[in-house]
Chain A
């Protein structure tokens, strides 16, 4: 039996009838066409599918779409505003915090949650905060640098800081 699911994704309201077994990540990608959220491992480890649900970072492969009913979601597509990259996106670009880029959307969403909780993290806190995300290219050095740079940019741009604390919306 299908169930009605109403969500707000990146500020837009959606309503669908879905099978209970539909994973949230498949709902985002296949029903809404938001393919920026990636599927990396299918075992809840890699974090490529990280999004925000009511402001909290979660792995969207480990949640059913029916569980998102009534919730507000932010995906990587909701980070840039008015054609301008989010400071975290810009920092990943500037610091070259990626090589193949597959894990990047998940890292950016996890970093946004981290900086919302702790706007000025130490390197250790960044590494611990991103423990749920795997990158198989970079060795993480430039990813950590990107988060440090983003933290600096965002501390001088309070409006942006506030949007992240609110879950990116």
Chain B
């Protein structure tokens, strides 16, 4: 299938990318790894008027340790995050999740910034960003993850705003991400992230709503001394997931509870 025609320009700096986005107008899109965008364009579910290719901005491909923070450049591919000794040491949950995105070929191309800016409900990094209180840095400002994901495929980004970095806290305590899917390279039907941090649990859910969900009721129950299997019963509190070809809303809520229990138990077993 052949995408609709579009204009194409390469940016050699973030500033130039932003200017090109302004010039092309609000129907322009940033091209990073392209592994969410190009499939949508081929199906003509997305028809951007122009693509601004940022792959030439090499300084956006980096992993930096900055005190108690990890700064992941927007163009850092999944394969680099997966294999990074710094990430494995400082935020192993992120390295493990990166290794479960797509397949080898996808991980060679897909990027941190692309996943965050694309804001697919089934994306894995947004859930981690939300529960870990990560910050999304753009060419204009720093946005807390909890204010970044607005709706399905919708973020706080302005039309000429470019994600440059995602800043995670260091957290190397017990953790687990369970990505429930039928085939290895699929998106999550439901995903659950559990991370122990600063003495408390952070629990997040993927693909049970238009944006990632923080399971506050589960976190509170654990804080109040509930066992994992008791706390996990709250994982579907307040959820109203959309059904799709792979799972009904009821099944997704069931998965949220079961996988939350397993994620906490497996994290504790580490």
Contacts and interface: CB of A to CB of B under 8 A. Distances in A.
B106 interface: yes
Q: Which of A57, A62, A114 has the most CB of B within 10 A?
A: A62
Contacts of B147: none
The A interface, classified by DSSP as helix, strand, loop or mixed, is mixed
B245 interface: no
Contacts of A20: 5-8, 51
Between B4, B38, B79, the greatest number of chain A beta carbons within 10 A of the residue's beta carbon is seen for B38
Contacts, number: 82
A44 B106 contact: yes
A57 B34 contact: no
Given A64-B38, A66-B53, A56 B108 contact: yes
Given A20-B6, A20-B51, A63-B34, A132 B106 contact: yes
A63 B102 CA distance: 16
A47 B51 contact: no
B268 interface: no
22 contacts: A1-B8, A20-B6, A42-B1, A43-B39, A43-B42, A45-B185, A47-B103, A56-B79, A57-B105, A59-B106, A59-B109, A61-B42, A62-B34, A62-B109, A64-B51, A67-B34, A67-B55, A110-B104, A113-B104, A131-B104, A131-B185, A132-B106
Top 8 nearest A-B pairs (CB, nearest first) are A132-B103, A20-B8, A131-B184, A56-B108, A131-B103, A132-B105, A21-B3, A59-B105
Interface of B: 1-8, 31, 34-35, 38-39, 41-43, 51, 53, 55, 79, 102-106, 108-109, 184-185
Interface of A: 1, 3, 19-21, 23, 26, 42-45, 47, 50, 56-59, 61-64, 66-67, 110, 113-114, 128-129, 131-133
